[in-house]
Structure 1
Amino acid sequence: MPGLTTLDTPDKDQPLRDDIRLLGRILGNTVRSQEGEAVFEIVERIRQTSIRFHREEDEAARHELEELLNSLSLAQTSRIVRAFSYFSHLANIAEDQHHIRRNRAHALAGSTTPRPGSMDCALAHARDAGITAAQLQAFFDDAHISPVLTAHPTEVQRKSILTREMEIAHLMAERELYRMTPDEERANEEALCRAVLTLWQTNILRRTKLTVIDEVVNGLSFYDYTFLKQLPRLYVTLEDQLRATVPGWNGHELPSFLRIGSWIGGDRDGNPFVTADVLRKAMRMQSSQAIRFYLEELFLLGNELSLNSRAVTVSDQLLELIKRSPDGSPRQDEPYRRAIGGIYARLAATGRELSQLQAPHRHWPHGEPYTDAAELRADLDLLDRSLVANGSAALARGRLRSLRRAVDIFGFHLASIDLRQNSDVHERTVAELLSSAGTEGDYLSLSEEERIALLLAEMSSPRPLSSSFLTYSDETNSELNILRTAADARRRYGACAVTNCIISKADGVSDILEVAVLLKEAGLLRPREGVLDLNIIPLFETIGDLRNAPQVMDRLFSIPEYKALLDSRGGVQEVMLGYSDSNKDGGFLTSGWELYKAEIALVEVFRGHGVKLRLFHGRGGSVGRGGGPSYQAILAQPGGAVQGKIRITEQGEVIAGKYSNPEVGRRNLETMAAATLEATLLQPEHAAPREEYLATMQELSNHAFRAYRGLVYETEGFERYFWESTVIGEIANLNIGSRPASRKKSTRIEDLRAIPWVFSWAQCRLMLPGWYGFGTAVKAWLAANPKDGMAKLQAMHREWPFFQTLLSNMDMVLSKSNIAIASRYAEMVSDPALREAIFSRIRTEWQDTIDALLTITGQSELLESNPLLARSIRNRFPYLDPLNHVQVELLKRHRASGGDEQLANGIHLTINGVAAGLRNSG
């Protein structure tokens, strides 16, 4: 598309501008050829008018835009929305390729200053701090780092669209990596034109609502794209870095401390469609994905290791393996191929047994299935030792090295599936089991201490509560079945298949002990042996729960029976912190502060009881749900909170943004590992800001909390304002997730899930959950501290990583907001008095927040300290803003029509385009 604003940026950004122009030109030509010159000209008029409105809030531009959009037919509107949406998608591809280009340029330049977030940089910092090889080894031996993929209704891209975009990314990468002849360049551009045309002709929306199994399929895509190959590559690179740069490094292989987790297929909190059968299918599909990959790699490895027995010697152990091999290959003089053939045969038999997988290559003789992944790894290790001992170590460092690591990481299960359920469900299930078993009294009427006593007695008893001769409610049967399925999955696929049981809305010790009792029913807690097979993880979500979390854990650790079970888990207790619900409950500033305080208090409680802490951060994609750059977020944790162990949820469209491109994906995984190393080894264990900073934050939080609660929960009519001025009603019906938008059938803000809450505010470009209340808080603080109040806030920003990260994320959110566009959404509120009362408050708070942020950070404009993001936003706004204007017009028509299906389809197209343009909206 022509007309992209030329930016005065350094020469290093010229390739990005060139890529955007190329892709924009191809898209423009596609629109012309497919839809006609008239449609293309309308697109350009809308874009130019939108730019005037964006820059000047020009009333003439507003009226011109409204008249233009009102004059369009529904068919024209749909084509225009698709044009603007696809430009955002293509701009994302260009930006990702530019990040890869800049990383390569940095590496090729041989800079002596490693880039922040890289493992090179983390190891350099460790070296400068005097961290020894032994300390590094201890870190890696004890570390546990895991990004956890979750299925939530903000992932708006279809897999078909994602596949086409990956093809375009690959073609753009070719232009960068290879010096092309004119013919090759023409062929590449023709291929790009075909890919963009296919993209244009592919339905951007799902026609049917996603099932949980659809979500499993989507999640598995990222193992093909990134994880199965790039995660082993990361380990290989890191081991070589350590060997080359760390004096005294012993050269041993690192343990697999970085693994992928998943909630998809196990998270049943508020999702009635996650059942035991779904968990069983998800586990089978995961296993099939892992084993299929191993078989393919073995096949290629066999082709590579054509070593002849006349040219090489082999170990006695390899000869024994060959004797046991069912391989009937005529190549008797190629020992490694024969050994690999036997491994392949056994693995193929394993795939058939575990997941009904048919081997992708020629028929192999029957082999005995492997009992577990460790047995497969042992055979691969035997190949490795034979190669190394007989002069072929270089061959062992290739495909075999990566395959050995992949088997160690992914096993036969691919990824650990977490189980999650609401504490209310656990409570009802235990109550029914106790009642059916004839226990005296009503469990639900007991006090907390009475519940604890009863649950401890049941935990210690080998007698099961459930009986096959009794009839239970559907809910109780479902809970018992899913736990029994988890136990079966562990037996079939390995103990790592299911390792965690998370309790949503945990607010007391009994919530945790209830899960222990239920695990006993499935044989996952064995009282006589004193062994607990799964980690029981409380999730503290609301502001009140976060404040109460340290007391709950202190009481829990004071129970000898539970402490003994923890010992069987290595003395590690995981605690999950909820960013989304705490934000919806108390606002951005208070949520961040209460999370930080909870972590400080938990560190002290765990230290006092001698328990190792592992924090699980329930972060979403948007800042309003705890999102933002992972590197800064991990380093901003209070001292002692990381301890080499961290899990972080990856949600919504952020998963595709981080992990659909292999290079970008590996970089994100490396950044997470590097930040964890730095936060563990380079932060003093008792690091804390000055007491006056803590007191200041508390005051700011108090003011922000009152402002946020006053608007969202205490202003009469706010619920109506929200439902009329945003796309929440339309999002609830969009086919982008299996989970309902609300926990109950109501329009109450309290019942709405945090994900659609944040997503809706992002769509109307207010981003309210990411900043509201900060302006009021700063004004109140300055009024009480007129002399040095601002100087203190500025010092906090300079010296305190937590406050820096808080403001940096707010800076990003505000830069993506647009009060002029938001005002058009506010116009949809039918009551003029309500509209004016609430929107005027929001507008004032928005401006006060920006003014406060700029003064504290010393910036003259938003994102002044982040020119890369500022450039990205400026590039895409001329194509993003029109989507919002079209969305408003379609919403008006849709609501006036009483729910026209074609109009709903157009609205859903705009939702997809706006989400793509913002990149982290949910």
Structure 2
Amino acid sequence: MQELTQTQAIDLVGRFEAGQEIPERMRADVRMLGALLGRVLRESGSPGLFDDVERLRTATIQAYTDETPEAFARAAAIADSFTIERADEVARAFTCYFHLVNLTEEHQRVRVLRERDGRPDREDASDSVAAAFMRLAAEVGDDTALARLRALRFHPVFTAHPTEARRRAVSTSIRRLADLLAAHDASLDGGADRRRAERRMLEEIDTLWRTAPLRPEKPSPTDEVRAVMAVFDDTLFTAIPHVYRRVDDALQGPAAGGRAPVVQPFVRVGSWVGGDRDGNPFVTASVTRKAAAIASEHVLLGLERAAVRIGRTLTLDAATTPPSDALLALWRRLKDADEDAAKDIAKRSPDEPHRRIVLLLARKIAATRTRDADLAYRDPEDLLADLRIVQDSLAAARAPRQAYGHLQQLIWQVETFGFHLTELEVRQHSAVHAKVLAELDAAGDDAVRSELAEEVLEVFRAIAFLQDRYGPRAAGRYIVSFTQSAQDLANVHRLARYAVGERGTVPVLEVIPLFETFADLRAAPGILAEIVEHPAFAERLEQTGRRLEVMLGYSDSSKDVGPVAANLALYEAQAEIADWAQREGIELTLFHGRGGALGRGGGPANSAVLAQPPHSVDGRFKLTEQGEVIFARYGDPAIAMRHIDQVAAAVLMASAPSNEERNRDAAERYADVAAAMDEASRARFFELVKADGFAAWFARVTPMEEVGLLALGSRPARRGLSVESLEDLRAIPWVFAWTQARINLAGWFGLGTALERVGDEERLRVAYREWPLLRTLIDNVGMSLAKADARIARHYLDLGDRDDLAALVMDEMTLTRDWVVRITGGAELLDNKPILQRAVKMRSPYVDALSLLQLRALRALRTDEVADPDQQRLLLLSVSGVAAGLQNTG
């Protein structure tokens, strides 16, 4: 097949783009940014680069639309024809394009959210907290619904798992482009402001093009902490209280803001960044202290600035807004402690008592940040007490709008973030604890301890220090990976006592078991029953009001038995644990260790929440937010508010009688389907992964080894052994490598065989409608398969010498795709999810271009005796680009 003429190419690209049902304003954004990128490639790329990019783009679109082997072969030949230097430039160009497309999609989401919010006649979204409260009240009554709203808790925990392939410099450039795109929207067509915005976007895209896409070295844990802080600074500090305000506005109507809010803070932000040391030797006790210090610096600076801003607006005269006796007493205390500043503020704020107080409170917050002992607050509760004195005084003086307006926002921020910002959690492997205790018991108190033992003990000293400095919420949750028995948890308390000695203060610890593997999930209910009988934990349970947190891992179980059996095992474990907690009178919080990729529990969180077993949520939902998901969900304020509102609404509705009854009935009605699917999917998965030589074959047909070379995160990609031991490979590279090969096996393998075993198509269609667990599973598999590509997958599988394993993978992909389409209805994948289908189709040909460049590099690396660094670089560039194109890759 010959290359198309320029006219034919333009016509083909135009028809492809026109065929995608993209909103017109988003289409205009894509065209504008694409044209600006094209201009940058002409101006800043090497001669002929733009033309070569267009040749490959046209060829991959043609191959995608007509699906003939000849068209695919022509596109591959173009990718193979480039010099290595040109291939590098082309890979970078397509990666830049994906960053711009991702930006336009995000901008369109924000645009839709703001337009919806701006409609005066709109009703609140059906999946908002306010709407959920109304539905819940209709089922359980107003008082019970209000009590559940006030007990609501959504607890995202940010982790540093290495699935964000973008450099921070790239992310920052994209955020600047987002601001410019918003300014472009707000400007007049053809006006000077619009021309200025376009000129600045051209400059920023040129910067993006010239910025090296790959990190020169792995980030340190401290670098990872600072990256997460950017999300707090740009989004969370203001977005979370705005969510509370929206809910209160909806529930109180015109009275909102003029009286005490109904809603109480329901978001808590956790972090493993700088605390998760399981398998990461670079996270030390010193790093943990630094992580907490960085977080505290950010939140205290935010609180200080908010207090100054509010104080300057409270120009309320004492004659119109008389201070309460408590406020006057507070003024005297503050004046005595900070006499010169009080005198200066009083001079600038005559007869404005509330303004004076808040400005002095801002100085106390600043003193807390700088560790000025004479002025610093001891803990956030003291600050809250002072703020409430101001609020009560304003309310008593008949100034409720000032009492419950911006001042309430500040109170919500202190209640949500404290002086610590994120609740830093520590995680360590149970085997490490056992090894250190064995050493300590054998050696005695006076012996010289190993480096490992000293570091483990220092972690507990660090926790005690953080609790003393920033408050008990700053650190205290301690997760034990691979918990096998109650003794694994008791070991943590023993080590804490060892660390501080007889006279030291033992830190207050909530020790959390983590069950990750398939076997551990099966054993979890029995281990928990043993735990609560252990003397140390029985006492601790009573002290905490019989509250218990249990973490369930999604990744390792999926790698153990495949995604279908793992999902069913997770549901069963949650159901059994929840039933046990109900019988024991325990207030259970299940902590979901979910990744961004579908093979690691990813997908829409709100639908997953509503599919949980009865009593497994009960108004509390905690989950990990990892890698690129952090920035996708929390990087923009409007999107972050929408995400938090949606998930919190699902958490509130999960324990509604109607939802619990639906899940319970469906689980019972389709128990035989679940059993058949579990058995068949596991057998099929084992047929693949337990085949002789599978691990080496997997490493050859995917860029698994090379992914480990990417400077994604501080944590090693494997647990120290060769890939010959698949069990020792971490779940993240397992998922990431299959995604890069356009196979996405970790997200779907075994489902087709499982559905085939059930066989009854009509019953499965009914089950898809009635059984939330199956619906969530099939919808996620549909998304995973839509991002896979059978044509490209075959070329990756051809890199191996195992036709039997390659055929097994392709046969299962075809079978699974067929069953998913039949059950969900329509003619192709995602027909029931048109917006998602549109996004996937729009990207796919461009991802194909990067995949062809990656295949070219991978073939060279697999045939050369010595790895060519130029080919290695091309491979890593393409990995970064494919990750940007596919998203939720890890």
Q: TM-score range by the shorter chain?
A: over 0.9
Please show how residues 773-784 of structure 1 align to structure 2 within 5 Å.
773-782=750-759
Measure the CA separation in 2 of the matches of 1:863 and 1:684. Answer: 25
Deviation at 1:741, TM superposition (A): 0.8
Deviation at 1:415, TM superposition (A): 0.6
Is 1:393 matched with 2:360? Answer: no
* Pick aligned residue for 1:222 from 231, 241, 248: 231
Please show how residues 864-883 of structure 1 align to structure 2 within 5 Å.
864-883=831-850
Shift of the 558–7 alpha-carbon distance from structure 1 to 2, 3 Å rule, reads farther
Measure the CA separation in 2 of the matches of 1:336 and 1:76. Answer: 65
Measure the CA separation in 2 of the matches of 1:526 and 1:849. Answer: 62
| Percent identity between the two aligned chains | 34
Contact 1:575–1:613 (Cα < 8 Å) also in 2? yes
Deviations 1:314-373 (A, max 9, x none): 22322333332322423150433422332122222211118xxxxxxxxxxx95111111
Counterpart of 2:476, as a letter, is: T
Aligned counterpart, 2:4: none
Measure the CA separation in 1 of the matches of 2:734 and 2:853. Answer: 21
Aligned counterpart, 1:256: 265
Deviations 1:664-683 (A, max 9, x none): 11111111111100102344
Shift of the 759–524 alpha-carbon distance from structure 1 to 2, 3 Å rule, reads farther
Counterpart of 2:641, as a letter, is: R
Measure the CA separation in 2 of the matches of 1:525 and 1:389. Answer: 51
Measure the CA separation in 1 of the matches of 2:624 and 2:659. Answer: 26
Aligned counterpart, 1:184: 193
Measure the CA separation in 1 of the matches of 2:610 and 2:578. Answer: 16
Shift of the 177–812 alpha-carbon distance from structure 1 to 2, 3 Å rule, reads same
Aligned counterpart, 1:464: none
* Pick aligned residue for 2:57 from 29, 47, 52: 47
Measure the CA separation in 1 of the matches of 2:413 and 2:261. Answer: 17
Aligned counterpart, 1:733: 709
TM-score, normalising length: structure 1: 0.90
Measure the CA separation in 1 of the matches of 2:222 and 2:888. Answer: 24
Shift of the 503–904 alpha-carbon distance from structure 1 to 2, 3 Å rule, reads same
Please show how residues 149-168 of structure 1 align to structure 2 within 5 Å.
149-168=158-177
Q: Secondary structure at the match of 1:688?
A: helix
Shift of the 587–581 alpha-carbon distance from structure 1 to 2, 3 Å rule, reads same
Contact 1:243–1:250 (Cα < 8 Å) also in 2? no
Counterpart of 1:470, as a letter, is: A
Aligned counterpart, 1:596: 571
Aligned counterpart, 1:651: 626
Counterpart of 2:721, as a letter, is: K
Please show how residues 615-634 of structure 1 align to structure 2 within 5 Å.
615-634=590-609
Is 1:351 matched with 2:369? Answer: yes
Shift of the 525–57 alpha-carbon distance from structure 1 to 2, 3 Å rule, reads farther
Consecutive unaligned residues of structure 2, counting only runs of 5 or more, are: 1-8
Counterpart of 2:784, as a letter, is: V
Shift of the 757–707 alpha-carbon distance from structure 1 to 2, 3 Å rule, reads same
Measure the CA separation in 2 of the matches of 1:733 and 1:557. Answer: 44
Shift of the 525–675 alpha-carbon distance from structure 1 to 2, 3 Å rule, reads farther
* Pick aligned residue for 1:132 from 116, 141, 150: 141
The more displaced of 504-513 and 86-95 is 504-513
Q: Secondary structure at the match of 1:225?
A: helix
Deviation at 1:522, TM superposition (A): 4.6
Please show how residues 425-824 of structure 1 align to structure 2 within 5 Å.
425-437=432-444, 467=445, 469-522=446-499, 533-559=508-534, 561-683=536-658, 685=660, 687-689=664-666, 691-712=668-689, 714-747=690-723, 748-782=725-759, 789-824=760-795
Aligned counterpart, 2:39: 29
Aligned counterpart, 1:913: 881
Counterpart of 2:769, as a letter, is: R
Is 1:381 matched with 2:388? Answer: yes
Measure the CA separation in 2 of the matches of 1:600 and 1:593. Answer: 11
Contact 1:766–1:822 (Cα < 8 Å) also in 2? yes
Deviations 1:522-568 (A, max 9, x none): 569999x9x98222111111111111111111222234542221121
Counterpart of 2:838, as a letter, is: R
Deviation at 1:618, TM superposition (A): 0.5
Counterpart of 2:488, as a letter, is: D
Contact 2:321–2:394 (Cα < 8 Å) also in 1? no
Counterpart of 1:598, as a letter, is: A
Measure the CA separation in 2 of the matches of 1:347 and 1:421. Answer: 34
Is 1:331 matched with 2:348? Answer: yes
Deviations 1:416-457 (A, max 9, x none): 0111011111111222232234xxxxxxxxxxxxxxxxxxxx
Deviation at 1:155, TM superposition (A): 1.2
Measure the CA separation in 1 of the matches of 2:696 and 2:705. Answer: 11
Counterpart of 2:107, as a letter, is: Q
Shift of the 879–230 alpha-carbon distance from structure 1 to 2, 3 Å rule, reads same
Q: Secondary structure at the match of 1:6?
A: helix
Q: Secondary structure at the match of 2:23?
A: helix
Q: Secondary structure at the match of 1:574?
A: strand
Measure the CA separation in 2 of the matches of 1:807 and 1:690. Answer: 16
* Pick aligned residue for 2:813 from 846, 862, 871: 846
Contact 1:226–1:666 (Cα < 8 Å) also in 2? no
Deviations 1:736-772 (A, max 9, x none): 1111111122112110000011001001110001111
* Pick aligned residue for 2:28 from 5, 18, 26: 18
Q: Secondary structure at the match of 1:616?
A: strand
Shift of the 174–897 alpha-carbon distance from structure 1 to 2, 3 Å rule, reads farther
Aligned counterpart, 1:448: none
Deviation at 1:124, TM superposition (A): 3.5
Deviation at 1:374, TM superposition (A): 1.2
Shift of the 368–695 alpha-carbon distance from structure 1 to 2, 3 Å rule, reads same
Measure the CA separation in 1 of the matches of 2:133 and 2:321. Answer: 39
The more displaced of 198-207 and 583-592 is 198-207
Deviations 1:165-194 (A, max 9, x none): 111112222344565662222122222212
Contact 1:117–1:675 (Cα < 8 Å) also in 2? yes
Is 1:316 matched with 2:325? Answer: yes
Deviation at 1:229, TM superposition (A): 0.8
Measure the CA separation in 1 of the matches of 2:462 and 2:398. Answer: 47
Number of paired residues? 865
Is 1:901 matched with 2:869? Answer: yes
Contact 1:140–1:254 (Cα < 8 Å) also in 2? yes
Counterpart of 1:603, as a letter, is: A
Measure the CA separation in 2 of the matches of 1:636 and 1:874. Answer: 28
Contact 1:532–1:566 (Cα < 8 Å) also in 2? no
Shift of the 25–897 alpha-carbon distance from structure 1 to 2, 3 Å rule, reads farther
Shift of the 141–63 alpha-carbon distance from structure 1 to 2, 3 Å rule, reads closer
RMSD: 2.5
Deviation at 1:72, TM superposition (A): 1.4
Contact 1:158–1:206 (Cα < 8 Å) also in 2? yes
Shift of the 732–708 alpha-carbon distance from structure 1 to 2, 3 Å rule, reads same
Deviations 1:683-703 (A, max 9, x none): 455633253401211111111
Shift of the 293–695 alpha-carbon distance from structure 1 to 2, 3 Å rule, reads same
Deviations 1:79-127 (A, max 9, x none): 1111111111111111111112222333344566643432233133224
Consecutive unaligned residues of structure 1, counting only runs of 5 or more, are: 355-365, 438-466, 783-788
Aligned counterpart, 2:854: 887
Measure the CA separation in 2 of the matches of 1:844 and 1:182. Answer: 57
Measure the CA separation in 2 of the matches of 1:384 and 1:750. Answer: 57
Aligned counterpart, 1:340: 358
Q: Secondary structure at the match of 1:495?
A: coil
Deviation at 1:729, TM superposition (A): 1.0
